[in-house]
Structure 1
Amino acid sequence: MANWIFQGNPKQFDVDTYLKENKVVTWGIRQKQFKDEMQRGDRVFIWRSDGGERNTGGVVASGKITSAPFIDEDDGFSIEVEITDFRLTPDSGMLLRHELKEIPDTMNLQIFKISQLTNYRLTDEEFNRLYKYWQNPQMVKEILELPTIEKYLYAFREVADEWFKENTKYIEVGYHFFDRFKQRDHLQQMEWEDVQEIGNHINAFRMALSKKRALGKMNAPIEKYRKSFEYLFYGQEPIENRIDNFISNEEYKLFGFGMSVVSEIVGNVFADDYCFYNQRDKVAVENILQLTPDYSRGDSEGRKFIKFQNCLKENQIIEKYLEIIGKRTNLPIYYEVDQFFSFLFENYGKKGKDITDVQDDLPQYWLLAAGENAVMWDDFYQNGLIAIGWEEIGDLKKYNSKREIADVLKEVFQLENNPTNDALANYQFAYEMKIGDYVFIKRGTKQIIGFGKIVSDYQHDPTRETYHSVRKVDWISTGEWNVDKEPIHMKTLTNITRYEDYVERLLDKVGKGNSSTTPPEGNKKNEELAPYTVEQINSEVFMTNEQIEEILETLDYKKNIILQGPPGVGKTFVAKRLAYLHMGVKDDSKIEFLQFHQSYSYEDFIRGYKPNLEGNFILKDGLFYTFCKKAVDDPENNYYMIIDEINRGNLSKIFGELMMLIEADKRGKKFAVKLAYSLGEETFYIPSNLYLIGTMNTADRSLALVDYALRRRFSFINVEPAFHTDGFKDYLISKGISQGFIEKLIHSIDEVNQEIVSDKINLGKGYEIGHSYFCPTVENVDDEQKWYERIIRLEIAPLLKEYWFDREDKVNDILNRLQ
């Protein structure tokens, strides 16, 4: 049995009247991958969206599915739902969307992350939480009135026993290790192996490269390790001084032992006095609980550690924890508090994250080998799972990138070449596969022996005899199907989703073609593509709604715009999102991207004679000519050409006689002209459904001003650094960066930008540092300080050296202030 939310939009049909007048309602299945999962008896909530009237949406009915999916009059699929209870107003007990979004129990529902779908699957746990509030709507009001800390403590109380059951063993092992490690007589006699053992008990060392750097080999004589740890644990100075000296004083400093590591060591050794102060704890306290340690600019790491501890005491974290949760283990209380923070980080650390692309909700298809010659197939089949080898490298979630996995594979297996394919297979198995995907199991390159649906997230199970990295699978078909005419790749794991015809042929082979696993369609009509809304662009582009609306209006009447700004403000990124929003869907087939440069010509852009393989010159259409023809042939849809670095080309030469036709009022067939390379009486025009979006870097010294004739045909829109926008801060929060560090980053870059703006002779506002430098693309930043230092060293420093190429002292002074 499954659980669902079905959403209806009152703008499209009268949800309330429909529910009032019908005991059994018919609901469309827009997420087609669900149609074979829905069955009679499944539990359903009906969700009414806001529909243009703010704060009116939410759960308005409950019921159960009473039919199998059937083909409806629109040739789609629908299902019948018997309504057991409906409540259409807050007074009658409906659950309001904006209130559910503020409750820890329900704020992570998928409907809040992807708001425009019709069908959402709920886990049993999610359904039970929602049903609890449906049975007693007053509970929602009561929880909303609680202080933030207490809201989250009550949420943790529901799962605390299970949480500690899963994690206590690891915590206890670490506790007993440090209880032995910290003994003074042990420190004075310890060997390198004792130091290395620290890596098995510190979360900050879960990244293989960090662990390898610090503990892979001795970076100092063992005597220094003994002396440094004895000082940290037993020195006579205040703990904040000992922390600072341990991190930065050459007498005690140990390579690879940064603040996150040291805070965990101190938290383990002095577990009755201090909480950990690693990335997870800071995110939980500052971002989720919204507590603000009294950090000041210039605080040392040790001082910030103490201020963090003081913040916990001032807000009575221990007292409130004991009152609501109660003691759950025999360990010191700060261990339990740290586990509460870990719970917050795991479940709410992504608060405010990017809205997921709707296409991500569609299943992917994978081709997997069950070991050499399918030796693991019996294990896969009998235990309902798939697995991947390389167990020597351990839990794949320790690694944050394919490069990290490749490095450890190379080291473990003593390889001379980079194991690119093997690293990719491991990374995809851990990070890119997802629940709802489908997998074909291959034997060699000529047989498919199984087909199933992935039903669990990645798990690392070292208790298995072999193949410790696993995912649970429901097997749909098993057998032996010869596919010797199909190109089966030798790689262990291959994502074959984009090869739609190939997927369909394999589905036919296993008897599942055109059924529950219909691959995503190609060349969809706009109404079938993923919608792109203001809500989505707000999550990706750090602009106000007013700015976005003004740009769209300008694009409507001018048809040609140029986004100009300093380096790193995301001009190209913004251009593409504006195109998505203007057309209303995410359709890359209607966007053409190119970059101008000094050698780019009319013949490249419009039309000209080019040599072919035989050395003869033939007339070839350019990119713009071809794209215009594509737009002419599809007048019902808009097309967008994005020209990056538009001011780098010789614009009059590139556009030629089309300089006039790009004007908004010169579009269409009646303004058609003969081109320089026209064939006979052939004419050409630019259609009204084609839009030009250019980008221009205002800090490019080598370029002349844009041609005036072109300048008046475009509207120029400034894109500025967005460090102070809520969107930028929310984005960094979604990547696991703490509030205090975000404020430090913004303040530091503000100072640098002020220096740049103040240099009126050489620089100025057009040369500011943009926010894009500080927009991490990884899922989560594990060490914010290292991430920040890497950007300063590798990206900001070279830029500043170019700006002030003749003022090395000034650059060094600025870089010192950025530390």
Structure 2
Amino acid sequence: MNYWIFQGNPKQFDVNTYVEENKELTWGVRQKQYIDDIKMGDKVFLWRADGGKKNSGGVIALSEVISEPYEGDEHYEVKLVIKAYRLTKDDGMLMRHELKELPETKTIQILKIGTGTNFKLTEQEFLILSEFWKKPNLVEERLEQSLVDRYLYAFKPQAKEWFRKAEFLYLNQHFFERFKTMEHLQQLEWGNVQELGNHINAFMTMPLAKKRALGNPNAPIEKYRESFMYLIYGEDSLQVRIDRFLHDENYKIFGLGESFVSEFVGNIFPEQYCFYNQRDKVAVENILELDPKYSRRDTIGEKFVKFQRCLNDHEISNKYLDIVGKQTNLPLYLEVDQFFSFLYETFGKSSQEETEVIMDGPQYWLLSPGENNYMWDDFKQNEIIGIGWKELGDLKKYSSKREILEALKEMNQLDYNPTMNALANYQFAFEMKVGDYVLIKAGIRKLTALGKIISDYIYDAAREGYHSIRKVEWLKTGNWDTGTLNLHTKALTDITPYEEYVQDLLEIMNVDSKEFDYPNANSGAGVVLDGPPDEPVPLPLFNSENIYQEIFMEEEEIEEILETLDYKKNIILQGPPGVGKTFLAKRLAFLHMGAIDDSKITMIQFHQSYSYEEFIRGYKPNENGHFILKDGIFYTFCKKAISDPEGNYYMVIDEINRGNLSKIFGELMMLMESDKRGKKYAVKLAYGKNEEETFYIPKNLYLIGTMNTADRSIALVDYALRRRFSFITVEPAFDSEKFSEYLRRKGLSQGFIEMIIGNMNDLNHEIVSDTINLGKGFEIGHSYFCPTIENVVDEQKWYDRIIKMEIKPLLKEYWFNQEEKVNELLERIK
């Protein structure tokens, strides 16, 4: 049996009278994909829409299907028999605005996306609505309860099944019961530490964090033993122990940070403390709206204690026992943590409302239901779409396409970048949205369905088949031959940019593109694409091992820069002269894309005379002396990125602060922001080729600027620049072991390397100490001493030449009126 909500709109017909005067009803079935699913005996709630009268809609009747769907004059119809009806709140009607306030019902599809005639309910949703239908006063009772109680009642009917799927809790408890024993800690070995990666959620959901923390030892094993012994058995208060474990050099261990500690302590002391991870914080602070009363300067230890105090003050554990009841023989706070996880999974991720979908406009996707179309029956029957790669687990645990790519390489031991597979998974989880359309293909010349996506990303590890899924409303199914129009071989392709291609596919399926608000093929940046390109030829890999041989920064610093580039899309590397900012910029682009591909990087340098006409578009003379409209370097590069939406493109702007950004970017200044990328934010250019032409900056374009902090010509950085870029300071690396190792590889003796480091640190100390004229932004960078030749034959001669030709002129510029000071410093570093 299936369960349904059928909606009627008072603007179109008198719903109340129709229900009141007829025992049997005829109702339209406008969602054609449901025709085969509606069966005699199915239970149907009838829903009256607001119809322009606020807070008047909701459930007005319970009915039953008494006929198979049949073709009517305009659409399919079905016969219903009324079991009971209530047309007003006083009669016991279930009001829409009240159901929307109840955790049990607020996620029902009709409350999230109100447009439509037919909505399928899960059995659980039907049972919940049935309970309220039988006892309409229960709605008001729930609304009078505290928010905590409401959500506990929402969890209660699902708790048994939730814990049935949580077998990992018992494995975790067994692991930590053994881990925390004094005997085990005293004999702790590296393999035991690495096991934490299978029992701490922060590591299981962040593969790169796990690799940094547990890939190789970051300290002697004795320090791991001492640190864990102190955190678990130290005599100080727990607050102090947490803070010292994170920040005290005697106990701090690279990779074991705040996310780790917040879960580790909860696992070690589950009878006393709940976890303090992001899921728990979102559940408590955002959903339950409880205030732990943090202060601005609280340490992590203080926040942890205040969070636990907040749970105690609001009697969370007691209320859990009273309303939900103990479900397992595990310590109570492990169950409470799972209640918070339920809240986070069910209510913590905001879904896209229909209004947002209309505003943003839909995207179009081409999807393969597995090799040889083997998942299509599952897709069709269960009204879902999905994507494979089960080894990745929940795709929401990855923060970027790059993380997914690295995970695929590591899990499958690949010696190449699985770029297309990583992109498909990232797009399925993060770029698809409710309201998008998906075309299902079979091979390279056949289409089998058109559907509309009606849910956010769902990860269901318990289901057979694909675990990463989305719900979909099938609009058309059948078999359509595309003839000479090839379909891309990738699992998933965003075909939205290929406007004529999409229109051709819709026409083949006898679908009017206007019905789906599809734009004209001639709009947007003047780029019309025929169709998705073939998969790119594999390029030489570029990974962390490559960059660490050339860049003297810690892995954590590099990873932080890459993560910033992921979400901000615009970064500026700032620092004193000679720290290798421009060199680093290009290597970061290679590392971010995972390959060496100069065709996707362009480098320019700003100066005070640089203009909009050079950068975007303007009139320039040709060989005949006539002025013609020419595209600038940025416009051309954006077009290149738009034509290849599945690749990443990088523009490196050297000396970015020397240009007048407002003048150079003009009306495109707003479009630089990461959340203003894409076609929906397209604007008309100052120099347009026609009235319809618009331009936008694509999502796959990244800007990396460099800025010299010792540049005296720039007093202040434009605020517009500050707001749209993340600033990353690159410092001299003389004290880095990687710098010393680099010079050793170039043939320098250890004693001479130590002399260089000592001299330059001494010189930089003088520069930093001169706070009136100079300061930290004027330090001498290490790149002056990074020879480009294979080996240094005469180290003293090489060093003297650098001091004479490069360092001395710089010092004279710094202290241009203090010749004696300059001479004295030069003597000290000879």
Same fold, TM exceeding 0.5?
Answer: yes
Counterpart of 2:178 (choices 161, 177, 180) is 180
1:499 and 1:266 mapped to 2: Cα distance?
Answer: 52
1:122 and 1:19 mapped to 2: Cα distance?
Answer: 21
1:61 and 1:89 mapped to 2: Cα distance?
Answer: 11
SS at match of 2:513: coil
Q: Per the alignment, do residues 487 and 317 of structure 1 end up closer, same or farther by CA in structure 2, a change over 3 Å counting? A: same
Give the aligned partner of residue 147 of structure 2. Answer: 148
Unaligned runs of 5+ in 1: 530-569, 571-596, 623-644, 652-675, 679-683, 695-760, 774-790, 796-804, 811-819
Give the aligned partner of residue 224 of structure 2. Answer: 225
Contact residue 56 and residue 96 of structure 1 kept, 8 A: yes
SS at match of 1:357: helix
Counterpart of 2:515 (choices 524, 531, 538) is 524
Give the aligned partner of residue 267 of structure 1. Answer: 266
Contact residue 45 and residue 61 of structure 2 kept, 8 A: yes
SS at match of 1:89: coil
Letter in 1 for 2:86: R
SS at match of 2:5: strand
| TM alignment of 1:18-57, pairs within 5 A | 18-29=18-29, 31=31, 33-35=33-35, 37-57=37-57
Unaligned runs of 5+ in 2: 521-567, 569-609, 632-660, 668-686, 697-714, 731-771, 778-830
Residue 241 (structure 2) pairs with residue 250 (structure 1): no
Q: Per the alignment, do residues 8 and 378 of structure 1 end up closer, same or farther by CA in structure 2, a change over 3 Å counting? A: closer
- Once structures 1 and 2 are overlaid, which stretch shifts more, 9-18 or 244-253? 9-18
Q: Per the alignment, do residues 76 and 240 of structure 1 end up closer, same or farther by CA in structure 2, a change over 3 Å counting? A: same
Q: Per the alignment, do residues 27 and 170 of structure 1 end up closer, same or farther by CA in structure 2, a change over 3 Å counting? A: same
**Alignment deviations for residues 409-459 of structure 1 (CA, whole Å, 9 cap, x no partner):** 2344555543211212334566678999674454xx678999999999866
Offset, 1:308 = 0.7
2:622 and 2:21 mapped to 1: Cα distance?
Answer: 71
Residue 193 (structure 2) pairs with residue 202 (structure 1): no
Offset, 1:152 = 1.4
Q: Per the alignment, do residues 620 and 261 of structure 1 end up closer, same or farther by CA in structure 2, a change over 3 Å counting? A: closer
Q: Per the alignment, do residues 197 and 692 of structure 1 end up closer, same or farther by CA in structure 2, a change over 3 Å counting? A: closer
Q: Per the alignment, do residues 351 and 469 of structure 1 end up closer, same or farther by CA in structure 2, a change over 3 Å counting? A: closer
**Alignment deviations for residues 59-112 of structure 1 (CA, whole Å, 9 cap, x no partner):** 122323455556666x55555544433211110111111211111110112223
Letter in 1 for 2:256: F
Q: How many residues align?
A: 573
Q: Per the alignment, do residues 388 and 29 of structure 1 end up closer, same or farther by CA in structure 2, a change over 3 Å counting? A: closer
2:433 and 2:349 mapped to 1: Cα distance?
Answer: 18
| TM alignment of 1:407-426, pairs within 5 A | 407-413=406-412, 415=414, 417-426=416-425
Q: Per the alignment, do residues 768 and 164 of structure 1 end up closer, same or farther by CA in structure 2, a change over 3 Å counting? A: same
**Alignment deviations for residues 475-513 of structure 1 (CA, whole Å, 9 cap, x no partner):** x999999988552433344466898998999999xxxx9
1:692 and 1:480 mapped to 2: Cα distance?
Answer: 37
Letter in 2 for 1:310: R
Letter in 2 for 1:273: Q
SS at match of 1:103: coil
**Alignment deviations for residues 224-256 of structure 1 (CA, whole Å, 9 cap, x no partner):** 111111110111100000000111112111112
- Once structures 1 and 2 are overlaid, which stretch shifts more, 64-73 or 104-113? 64-73
Contact residue 388 and residue 426 of structure 1 kept, 8 A: yes
Contact residue 367 and residue 495 of structure 1 kept, 8 A: no
Q: Per the alignment, do residues 807 and 162 of structure 1 end up closer, same or farther by CA in structure 2, a change over 3 Å counting? A: farther
1:528 and 1:130 mapped to 2: Cα distance?
Answer: 40
Contact residue 369 and residue 376 of structure 2 kept, 8 A: no
| TM alignment of 1:531-570, pairs within 5 A | none
Letter in 1 for 2:196: I
Offset, 1:173 = 0.6
SS at match of 2:90: helix
| TM alignment of 1:84-233, pairs within 5 A | 84-167=83-166, 169-206=167-204, 207-233=206-232
Q: Per the alignment, do residues 88 and 769 of structure 1 end up closer, same or farther by CA in structure 2, a change over 3 Å counting? A: farther
2:87 and 2:386 mapped to 1: Cα distance?
Answer: 48
Letter in 1 for 2:54: R
1:806 and 1:768 mapped to 2: Cα distance?
Answer: 25
Offset, 1:185 = 2.1
Q: Per the alignment, do residues 103 and 394 of structure 1 end up closer, same or farther by CA in structure 2, a change over 3 Å counting? A: closer
Q: Per the alignment, do residues 619 and 88 of structure 1 end up closer, same or farther by CA in structure 2, a change over 3 Å counting? A: farther
Contact residue 2 and residue 122 of structure 1 kept, 8 A: yes
SS at match of 2:514: coil
Largest Rg, 1 or 2: 2
Give the aligned partner of residue 8 of structure 2. Answer: 8
**Alignment deviations for residues 738-793 of structure 1 (CA, whole Å, 9 cap, x no partner):** xxxxxxxxxxxxxxxxxxxxxxx9899x97987x99xxxxxxxxxxxxxxxxx686
Identify the structure with bigger relative contact order (alpha carbons < 8 Å, sequence gap 6+).
1
Q: Per the alignment, do residues 491 and 259 of structure 1 end up closer, same or farther by CA in structure 2, a change over 3 Å counting? A: same
2:694 and 2:481 mapped to 1: Cα distance?
Answer: 51
SS at match of 1:4: strand
How does the TM-score come out when normalised to structure 2?
0.57
Contact residue 365 and residue 496 of structure 1 kept, 8 A: yes
Contact residue 4 and residue 122 of structure 1 kept, 8 A: yes
Give the aligned partner of residue 542 of structure 2. Answer: none
2:362 and 2:121 mapped to 1: Cα distance?
Answer: 14
2:454 and 2:202 mapped to 1: Cα distance?
Answer: 30
SS at match of 1:47: strand
Letter in 1 for 2:8: G
Residue 62 (structure 2) pairs with residue 62 (structure 1): yes
Q: Per the alignment, do residues 166 and 153 of structure 1 end up closer, same or farther by CA in structure 2, a change over 3 Å counting? A: same
Contact residue 406 and residue 420 of structure 1 kept, 8 A: yes
**What is the RMSD of the two structures over their aligned residues, measured on CA atoms?**
5.5
Contact residue 363 and residue 432 of structure 2 kept, 8 A: no
1:304 and 1:38 mapped to 2: Cα distance?
Answer: 53
Q: Per the alignment, do residues 228 and 140 of structure 1 end up closer, same or farther by CA in structure 2, a change over 3 Å counting? A: same
SS at match of 2:368: strand
SS at match of 1:91: coil
Contact residue 600 and residue 649 of structure 1 kept, 8 A: no
Letter in 2 for 1:59: V
Offset, 1:328 = 1.6
Letter in 1 for 2:368: L
Offset, 1:274 = 0.8
Letter in 2 for 1:184: M
Q: Per the alignment, do residues 621 and 237 of structure 1 end up closer, same or farther by CA in structure 2, a change over 3 Å counting? A: closer
| TM alignment of 1:133-532, pairs within 5 A | 133-167=132-166, 169-206=167-204, 207-350=206-349, 355=354, 357=357, 365-370=366-371, 374=372, 393=392, 396-413=395-412, 415=414, 417-428=416-427, 439-442=440-443, 485=484, 487-494=486-493, 521-524=512-515
Letter in 2 for 1:109: I
SS at match of 1:107: coil
| TM alignment of 1:774-793, pairs within 5 A | none
Letter in 2 for 1:180: R
Offset, 1:223 = 1.6
Contact residue 441 and residue 450 of structure 1 kept, 8 A: no
SS at match of 1:90: coil
Q: Per the alignment, do residues 351 and 32 of structure 1 end up closer, same or farther by CA in structure 2, a change over 3 Å counting? A: same
Offset, 1:343 = 1.1
**Alignment deviations for residues 552-576 of structure 1 (CA, whole Å, 9 cap, x no partner):** xxxxxxxxxxxxxxxxxx9xxxxxx
1:64 and 1:479 mapped to 2: Cα distance?
Answer: 30
Q: Per the alignment, do residues 121 and 357 of structure 1 end up closer, same or farther by CA in structure 2, a change over 3 Å counting? A: farther
2:301 and 2:209 mapped to 1: Cα distance?
Answer: 21
Contact residue 109 and residue 126 of structure 1 kept, 8 A: yes
Contact residue 368 and residue 493 of structure 1 kept, 8 A: no
SS at match of 1:523: helix
1:78 and 1:378 mapped to 2: Cα distance?
Answer: 27
